[in-house]
């Protein structure tokens, strides 16, 4: 019984062969077989590609979001401005200001070839003074608590400025330019001028991110720490000013929000070479809020942007204008939802 079943299975043939006496092989038949096989393979491949293909559906909506924040990610290189004097500032139309931002920002010193220079420990510069100057005018004695003078910029009798940076901040709050840094004890002890001189001829790569309100505003890169006086912004390095600053720069990356597939940041890889004296390079950016939904339904809230550029030669504008690279951004009232879908779904197949 078992052998009979196996014998039937062995002789089973769904496509029984024609006896060779009833057919002949020919060149045309071989060509037709080959062409039909290739056509079948091509159809199978094209249908598989069609199955995997997706389309992007976009539409415009009114943006009704309020009270949110935006993360700006940047990576900008200045070949001719040293890190010791380069600052990052941000402000918006609501009146919020952030001057000389340091958190979430990394500065890398680079040489003329663009290679990163290894960072050196703080304190390199002028010889350290063992007994710093106290606020009351005497030198720090043993068992005394150090409280350095703010050199007239104190806001109260208890204010202390124990570092050159704190003196600069106190001057900035008063709206004063730091024209006497060579006479300030803290700056002499820390080798402030020596560090600036040491980095002459170097460049700086600045990368990081800013968290800003979703309102119109600007952020900029400028030599010196910005201070505000009579509704005009100055920088505090008047005592070490050069005749001009070369604001040549390369934007390696500038993004408003998270990355999503297909996003195009028009300023990425952009480069501008400084050819004149002190100048102000301005980018006017229109940010379009964007919601990206992938084929699996995962959503990314981000932004796209368009940009126009403008250069101002400060020699012909105002002697008090600040050189630097400025990014002015504003938000479009229209939101752009982007949804990725299967083509087969759209065709209703």
Residue 27 lies in a domain: no
Same domain, 222 and 280: yes
Q: Which of 150, 181, 200 is the last residue of a domain?
A: 200
Same domain, 183 and 313: no
Tell me phi and psi for residue 190, to 5 degrees: -85, -5
pLDDT digits (tens, 9 = 90+) for 270-318: 988 877 667 889 999 999 988 888 877 788 888 999 999 998 877 665 6
The 3-class SS string of 70-115 reads: EEEEEEEEECCCCCCCEEEEEEECCCCEECCCCCCEEEEEECCCCC
More confident residue, 177 or 167: 167
Residue 224 lies in a domain: yes
Average pLDDT of the chain is 76
Residue 71 is predicted with a pLDDT of 93
Residue 302 lies in a domain: yes
Residue 102 pLDDT > 90, yes or no?
Answer: no
pLDDT digits (tens, 9 = 90+) for 177-187: 666 666 777 77
Rounded mean pLDDT, 148-171: 79
Residue 348 lies in a domain: no
Same domain, 328 and 223: yes
Residue 176 is predicted with a pLDDT of 72
Rounded mean pLDDT, 116-140: 50
DSSP state of 116: B
pLDDT band at 80 (very low <50, low <70, confident <90, very high): confident
Q: Which of 200, 231, 252 is the last residue of a domain?
A: 200
Same domain, 213 and 312: yes
Dist CA 104 CA 102 (whole Å): 7
Same domain, 97 and 214: yes
Residue 56 pLDDT > 50, yes or no?
Answer: yes
Residue 149 lies in a domain: yes
Rounded mean pLDDT, 88-116: 86
Residue 119 lies in a domain: no
pLDDT band at 239 (very low <50, low <70, confident <90, very high): very low
Same domain, 170 and 207: no
Residue 99 is predicted with a pLDDT of 78
- Structure-block tokens of residue 273: 């070479």
Give burial (CB, 10 Å; 0-12/13-18/19+) of 219: buried
Residue 335 lies in a domain: yes
Same domain, 312 and 242: yes
Domain residues for 237? 61-112+202-340
Same domain, 215 and 81: yes
Q: What is the CATH number of the domain that holds 95?
A: 2.60.470
Residue 174 pLDDT > 80, yes or no?
Answer: no
Residue 326 is predicted with a pLDDT of 94
Same domain, 206 and 83: yes
pLDDT band at 82 (very low <50, low <70, confident <90, very high): confident
Rounded mean pLDDT, 170-175: 75
Dist CA 297 CA 32 (whole Å): 46
**Residue 32 falls in which region: left (phi positive, over 0), alpha (psi -120 to 50) or beta:** alpha
For the chain, how many structural domains are there in total? 2
Q: Which of 171, 200, 229 is the last residue of a domain?
A: 200
Residue 124 pLDDT > 50, yes or no?
Answer: no
Same domain, 175 and 208: no
Same domain, 98 and 216: yes
Nearest of 296, 344, 295 to residue 50 by alpha carbon: 344
**Alpha-carbon torsion, ordered 266, 267, 273, 278, to 10 deg:** 120
Rounded mean pLDDT, 227-246: 51
Same domain, 87 and 152: no
Residue 60 is predicted with a pLDDT of 67
Residue 142 pLDDT > 90, yes or no?
Answer: no
């Amino acid at each position: 019984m078992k052998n009979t079943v196996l014998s039937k299975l062995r002789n089973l043939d769904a496509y029984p062969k024609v006896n060779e006496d009833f057919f002949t092989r020919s060149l045309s038949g071989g060509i037709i077989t080959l062409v039909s096989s290739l056509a079948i393979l091509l159809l199978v491949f094209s249908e598989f590609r069609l199955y995997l293909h997706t389309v992007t559906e976009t539409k415009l909506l009114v943006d009704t979001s309020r009270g949110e924040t935006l993360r700006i990610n940047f990576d900008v290189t200045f070949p001719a401005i040293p890190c010791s004097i380069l600052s990052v500032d941000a402000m918006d139309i609501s009146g919020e200001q952030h001057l000389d931002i340091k958190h979430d920002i990394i500065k890398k010193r680079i040489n003329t070839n663009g290679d990163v220079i290894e960072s050196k420990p703080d304190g390199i510069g002028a010889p350290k003074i063992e007994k710093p100057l106290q606020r009351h005018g005497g030198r720090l004695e043993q068992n005394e608590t150090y409280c350095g003078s703010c050199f007239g910029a104190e806001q109260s009798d208890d204010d202390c400025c124990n570092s050159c940076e704190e003196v600069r901040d106190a001057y900035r709050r008063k709206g004063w330019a730091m024209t006497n840094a060579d006479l300030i004890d803290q700056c002499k002890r820390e080798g402030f001028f020596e560090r600036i001189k040491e980095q002459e001829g170097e460049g700086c790569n600045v990368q990081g991110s800013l968290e800003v309100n979703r309102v119109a505003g600007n952020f900029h890169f400028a030599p010196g720490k910005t201070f505000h006086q009579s509704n005009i912004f100055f920088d505090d390095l008047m005592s070490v000013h050069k005749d001009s600053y070369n604001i040549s720069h390369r934007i390696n990356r500038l993004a408003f929000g998270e990355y999503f597939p297909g996003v195009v940041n028009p300023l990425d890889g952009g480069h501008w070479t400084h050819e004149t004296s002190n100048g102000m390079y301005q980018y006017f950016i229109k940010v379009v809020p964007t919601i990206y939904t992938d084929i699996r339904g995962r959503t990314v809230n981000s932004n796209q942007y368009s940009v126009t550029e403008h250069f101002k030669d400060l020699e012909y504008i105002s002697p008090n204008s600040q050189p630097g690279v400025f990014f002015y951004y504003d938000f479009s009232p229209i939101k752009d939802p982007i949804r990725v879908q299967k083509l087969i779904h759209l065709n209703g197949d």
